[in-house]
Chains A and B, each alone.
Chain A
Amino acid sequence: MGQEPDSFMSDIPQSKVTVPVITVRDFMDNAAGRFTMELVAGRDGLDKVIDEPVVHRPGLALSGFYDHFAAERIQVIGMAEYTFIQVMSEAERIACFKTMFDHNVPCIVFPGGNQIFPSVLKLAECYGVVVFKSPDLTRYFMMSAMVLLEELSSPRCKIHATMVDVSGMGVLLEGKSGLGKSETALGLIKRGHALVADDLTCVRRHGINHLVATSTETARDFMEIRGIGMLNIRQVFGVGAVRREKQIDLVLTLMRQSEVEHSLDRTGCEQLTRDFLGVQLPQRIIPVAPGRSLVNLAETAAQEQKLRMSGYVAVEELDKRILELHSKKEIGRG
């Protein structure tokens, strides 16, 4: 007898999950292309760790109320805060920022192109707190910074699987070595789909219930096909045949026919799930046997999952049809 559905592939050793530690420098270095930000003071604080990688408007704290102050976050001086400190006397302003810096904030940002008070810059320099200025509007800066911080700090791991974008559906092919993950991916690429990663896929959690897959920098665009060797997919098939990252929509687990035996649900009533980083993804077990076209199966499974996600489940319609037929017969008999 085969394994219980929820334990398919769970016996495979997995890489440890890492949750990256983000420093102010990481935040600055990765801002390019997302928002504009310039360091104006406190360079000494660049290696400070952002314990809670989110942005925070200090609002109340500036008025002196520091209970439950989120000091571990990036402090953003938006228009409201800016106007508030603008009307302060110089002495009040210095005292105000001294208190904030005493709470050991990782860095502060002045968006909206506002001029930063020289006294604040001087103070930040003394305390080693990085100060950034940004011409971007506060709301856009906040949104872009949140997205970046989430991307940098979300939990991640590397898994033994191949990832392909099949007509917009992110399909993760997993299974033991030699079962045909890469050959299946190659077949899909030949049909116009795009490779994300071959054999080792980096997975990162996005929000609460999404996973994003990408390749390692080392192996990007490359595949190993037995009998051919190393292939650069971008060179052989063009830029359309590769994709940098893609959300995972479906996990296809390749297993030897002998390993699954007759334990599989054949109707599609059961929706199996596969857990990565605490996110449950729809999973299909694909028995590998001579004569089965894995490319066809993978492509069709992707299309079917797309339908399911839009609310249509074929097996439910079929069952409804049968039950309706039954009820008509019963009425006829009565």
Chain B
Amino acid sequence: MGDADADRENREVVLMNKYGMHVRPAGLFAKAASRFKADIYVEKNGVVVSGKSIMALMTLEAVCGTPLILSAIGEQGTEALDELEGLIARKFDIPDEQ
């Protein structure tokens, strides 16, 4: 791992909620990500977007079953990834999408 990646942590996840990354999940994800100091990025097939941006998350066009790579750079990175991974696993706590 190069120096530039020294404080970067990656986590592979699979989107599990019924309708994928539409407005509501994107909003919940960005809100959760924004609580942490670390910069959060979400990658799908080489496209990397900010995990704190609802607009960008929606445009990923990630459907149920899409594998994503979450990465965090900086302070609180691990906590942020734990939280976000949990949110995805819990299908964003949206009742209709379990």
Contact = CB atoms under 8 A, between A and B. Distances in A.
Interface stretch (A74-82, A163-171, A214-222): A214-222
A249 interface: no
A162 B53 CA distance: 11
B98 to A, nearest CB: 25
Contacts of A160: 49-50, 53, 56
A157 to B, nearest CB: 9
B87 to A, nearest CB: 17
Contacts of A13: 41, 43, 48, 71, 73
B1 interface: no
A35 B49 CA distance: 36
B95 to A, nearest CB: 21
B34 A178 contact: yes
Contact of A200 (B4, B52, B56): B56
Given A200-B53, A200-B55, A224-B55, A11 B4 contact: yes
B55 A177 contact: no
Interface string B36-64: 00010101001111101111101101000
Interface residues of B, number: 21
Interface string B1-41: 00010000000000000000001000000000010000101
From B49, B55, B58, B61, residue with most partner A Cβ within 10 Å: B55
Interface string A189-216: 0000000001110000000000000001
Contact of B59 (A14, A177, A200): A200
A158 B34 contact: no
Main secondary structure of the interface of B (DSSP, over half): mixed
A223 interface: yes
A15 B58 contact: no
Interface in A1-37: 11-16, 18
Given A16-B46, A16-B47, A219 B59 contact: yes
A219 B55 CA distance: 7
A15 B55 contact: no
B34 A199 contact: no
Given A200-B55, A230-B23, A218 B49 contact: no
Nearest to A11: B4
Nearest to A217: B59
Contacts of A18: 46
Interface in A216-246: 216, 218-219, 222-224, 230
Contact of B53 (A11, A199, A216): A199
28 contacts: A11-B4, A13-B41, A13-B43, A13-B48, A14-B48, A15-B46, A16-B46, A16-B48, A18-B46, A158-B49, A160-B53, A176-B50, A177-B34, A177-B50, A177-B53, A178-B34, A199-B50, A199-B54, A199-B55, A199-B56, A200-B49, A200-B59, A216-B59, A218-B58, A224-B54, A224-B55, A230-B23, A230-B54
Given A199-B55, A218-B58, 11 more contacts: A11-B73, A13-B73, A160-B53, A177-B53, A178-B34, A200-B59, A218-B61, A219-B58, A219-B59, A222-B55, A224-B55
Interface of B: 4, 23, 34, 39, 41, 43, 46-50, 52-56, 58-59, 61, 71, 73
